[in-house]
Amino acid sequence: MSIDFYSQAVPSITALSPYRPGKPAGELQREMGLSDIISLASNENPLGPSPRALAAASAALMRVERYPDGAGFELKAALSSAYNVGPERITLGNGSNELLNLVARVFVRPGDEVIYSQYAFIAYPIATRACQAHPVEVPAKMYGHDLTAMAGAVTERTRLIYLANPNNPTGTAFSDSALRAFLDAVPAHVVVVLDEAYTEYVDVDAGLPNGLALIDEYDNLVVTRTFSKAFGLAGLRVGFAVSNPQISDLMNRIREPFNINVAAQAAAAAVLTDSDYLQQVLDTNRRGMVQVSEGLRRLAVEFLTSQGNFVTLDLKRDAQPIFDSLLRQGVIVRPLQPYNMPHHLRVTIGLEQENARFLAALERALMC
């Protein structure tokens, strides 16, 4: 090539490392000729989709010659009644990841500061750099968000703050009172994105916040949720944000006109009514978390206590050989080098037999 297009690109984008998704099972199959692979790499729902969501998506496929409803009327109505928020406060996203980017594009100018925590979800630094903004990464406290330090990091150039509760990949969470104190300390014009991708898994008695309950109180709060985890629709790509109506109006101005396809809109609206499915998902996760935690204790492997559907192991040494050994045994987990956590591996809680297989494979990997 006679022109180096990397040198032509926006420097903050050339400097980005691309988001590295979990290794697809098909890729491992091709590389190693393995047939029996389990994927515990991307915090997906091990139960498969809700039958009600599948039926709705199939019916919607009969209408794919038409554009989707660009306003997402039915899905917003379903969300509005499920969560008791007005549809004018809802923005739909092609996964919540799209919303994390949209909010930055609305508010962040080149050179502005965006704050997030060390070890927080990697989409935040990517969204920040894509806007040519200055990332302000605040050191974590016991792997979790240090909300006091984060509030203290606000300057006159701060536009946006990302919080994840519970956080991926650490599984840490902060309390309702800590969040309120943080929101009270942050200037009212600084937008705070509260990413609640794992909120469904959180024990209701644990004293953790429900961001949607704070929306009326804090005009600068944007809560993002997803259908990719507990609702089992990762492959269809649907998320939503709840905010004050001005912010949702602004985000709606720049989103792609038809960003949620017809099958995804129908499936998401349907799964919201499938409380049996959600209950089964949460029961499976609770039992699996006990099974994996007990197994790790038996193997004397340390791990971070997690409020989500995954757990992060602290192997106290380079995790890559363990990761590779697990791969050779057909078990895909997530290495955490992109988070500067080279001694850690993240594993999604799976079905009982998947968890057992992971633990057995880990035991073998640790012996080498």
Ligand X SMILES: *Cc1c(COP(=O)(O)O)cnc(C)c1O
Segment contacting ligand X by CB under 6 A, of 9-17, 24-32, 223-231, 332-340: 223-231
Dihedral sign from CA coordinates of 129, 21, 339, 350? positive
Q: Which is nearer to ligand X, 241 or 359 (CB)?
A: 241
CB 68 within 8 A of CB 363: no
Minimum distance from residue 249 beta carbon to ligand X (Å): 22
226 is a site residue for ligand X (CB under 6 A): yes
CA distances to 49, 52, 70, 82, 274 from 76, rounded to whole Å, are 21, 18, 11, 10, 16
Q: Which is nearer to ligand X, 100 or 361 (CB)?
A: 100
197 is a site residue for ligand X (CB under 6 A): yes
Tokens matching residue 206: 């644990």
CB 46 within 8 A of CB 277: no
Concatenated DSSP letters of 119-145: TS-THHHHHHHHTTPEEEEEPPBTTB-
**R_g of the chain, CA atoms, integer Å:** 21
143 is a site residue for ligand X (CB under 6 A): no
195 is a site residue for ligand X (CB under 6 A): yes
Q: Which is nearer to ligand X, 168 or 285 (CB)?
A: 168
**CA separation for the pair 190, 345 (Å, rounded):** 34
Among 23, 38, 39, 43, which residue interacts with ligand X (rule: CB under 6 A)? 43
121 is a site residue for ligand X (CB under 6 A): yes
Residue 320 class from Cβ within 10 Å (0-12 exposed, 13-18 middle, 19+ buried)? middle
Q: Which is nearer to ligand X, 270 or 365 (CB)?
A: 270
Among 140, 234, 282, 351, which residue interacts with ligand X (rule: CB under 6 A)? 234
DSSP-H helix ranges across the chain? 5-8, 11-14, 25-32, 51-61, 73-83, 96-107, 123-130, 147-152, 176-185, 245-254, 262-271, 275-298, 320-328, 352-367
164 is a site residue for ligand X (CB under 6 A): yes
Minimum distance from residue 213 beta carbon to ligand X (Å): 20
**CA separation for the pair 278, 184 (Å, rounded):** 33
228 is a site residue for ligand X (CB under 6 A): yes
Residue whose C-alpha is closest to residue 164's, from 112, 127, 189, 216: 127
Among 46, 68, 72, 95, which residue interacts with ligand X (rule: CB under 6 A)? 95
Residue of closest CB approach to ligand X: 95
Among 39, 91, 158, 168, which residue interacts with ligand X (rule: CB under 6 A)? 168
Q: Which is nearer to ligand X, 165 or 329 (CB)?
A: 165
97 is a site residue for ligand X (CB under 6 A): yes
Q: Which is nearer to ligand X, 29 or 118 (CB)?
A: 118
**CA separation for the pair 127, 108 (Å, rounded):** 10
**CA separation for the pair 221, 191 (Å, rounded):** 6
Minimum distance from residue 121 beta carbon to ligand X (Å): 4
239 is a site residue for ligand X (CB under 6 A): yes
208 is a site residue for ligand X (CB under 6 A): no
Q: Report the interface residues with ligand X, using CB under 6 A.
A: 43, 95-97, 121, 164, 168, 195, 197, 226, 228-229, 234, 239
